[in-house]
Amino acid sequence: MARRRGFVLALAAVVLLAAAAAATAQSDKGKGPPKAEGPKPEGPKSPPKGPEGPKSPPMGEGPKPKPKPKPKQVKCQVNRKENPYCFNKKMDCPDDCPETCFASCTEYDCKAVCACNQPGAACGDPRFIGGDGNAFYFHGRKDADFCVVSDRDLHINAHFIGKPGHSGMSRDFTWIQAIAMLFDGHRLYVGARKTATWDDAVEHLEITLDGEPVHLPADQVGDAKWISSRVPALSVTRTKAANGVLVALDGKFSVRANAVPITEEDSRVHRYGVTSDDCLAHLELAFKFDALTDDVHGVVGQTYRSDYVNQLDVRASMPTMGGDASFTASSLFAADCAVARFGTSHGNDGASVMSELAGITCASGMDGQGVVCKK
């Protein structure tokens, strides 16, 4: 009986295996041999990527502004006993003049101030600040000389450079390129050299005394000082590594002079028409006077008189002084403007000095390092 049962089970297993084999064969029926696969056809290739240019800023964002340069620091150089509060005090230049301020140190106050905002200043398309504290413009005309201060013992002329004004303008755009100072029989010249491109690290100032170049120490370190052997009271001190000086004649006057260009941005905004061969280098000036008489005259000199009455409209955006004819000089070293006062108290000696200086002309010489003056 057991044998019979085992036989039956074995037979059933054989039948099941046969059925499975038949089903597999039926599913593969009609299928041919697998096709040989060749290389897949390639579609059009994308052009190779070149080097990536600068990425555009996100929508709504412009280029990041350049960081502001660190302002220059100035220091009060006063006597410790006389002014202990200001002694050696360091201050940052204001935002309006980050490179051209100076330390104003008195017994009442010490602060960094902009040279162009002080009485005696002459900057830009000339904007003057008079001895009375009021600002005004005197445009003169390009390629001409004008007396800005004329007193018994001191005469200062300025040489104007410029560009023709826009269509419809009745004046030139002008700037002060050089000044000439006459005193005690001496001639002092301070000017900005003509240059195509501006580099503030390169010296563009020219200074001469009686036709001889003034050479400051070549290391170009700020505060380098020159004292005249011919006029011991006269000194020239660097206020910047280049293009900035303080000229002082003890007991008479001092002037801060900075050589600056007209920038492309200034030219674009104001339509000055600056060309690639001349950036119109000019001077920014700040005078201080110690011994003017009450008879002083000139464009800015007259504003120091006790009887001066300002007849300009100080509320105007550009109060402008006219009277070019009264202030015109025949040359940079000529004390012959209509309102000249120089030498009037010296009799024939003063007249001879004026006559001699009136016949003097100056031009750049010595490879641009100075000015040669001759009769």
| pLDDT, tens digit (0-9, with 9 covering 90-100), for 39-57 | 555 555 555 554 555 555 5
Q: Is the pLDDT of residue 215 over 70?
A: yes
| pLDDT, tens digit (0-9, with 9 covering 90-100), for 245-274 | 999 999 999 999 999 999 888 888 888 888
Q: Tell which residue, 291, 284, 287, has the closest CA to residue 119.
A: 287
Q: What percent of the chain has pLDDT over 70?
A: 71
Residues ≥6 apart with Cβ < 8 Å to 260: 192, 243, 281, 282, 283, 284
Q: Tell which residue, 115, 140, 118, has the closest CA to residue 284.
A: 115
**Distance of alpha carbon 309 from alpha carbon 346, whole angstroms:** 29
CA distances from residue 277 to 89, 198, 253, 274, 308 in whole angstroms, order as listed: 43, 11, 35, 8, 42
Residue 282, class by beta-carbon neighbours within 10 Å (0-12 exposed, 13-18 middle, 19+ buried)? buried
Kindly report the pTM of this predicted structure: 0.72
Q: Is the pLDDT of residue 28 over 70?
A: no
Q: How confident is the model at residue 70 (pLDDT cuts 50, 70, 90)?
A: confident
**Number of other residues whose CB lies within 10 A of the CB of residue 298:** 26
Residue 41, class by beta-carbon neighbours within 10 Å (0-12 exposed, 13-18 middle, 19+ buried)? exposed
Residue identified by tokens 């700020």 is 222
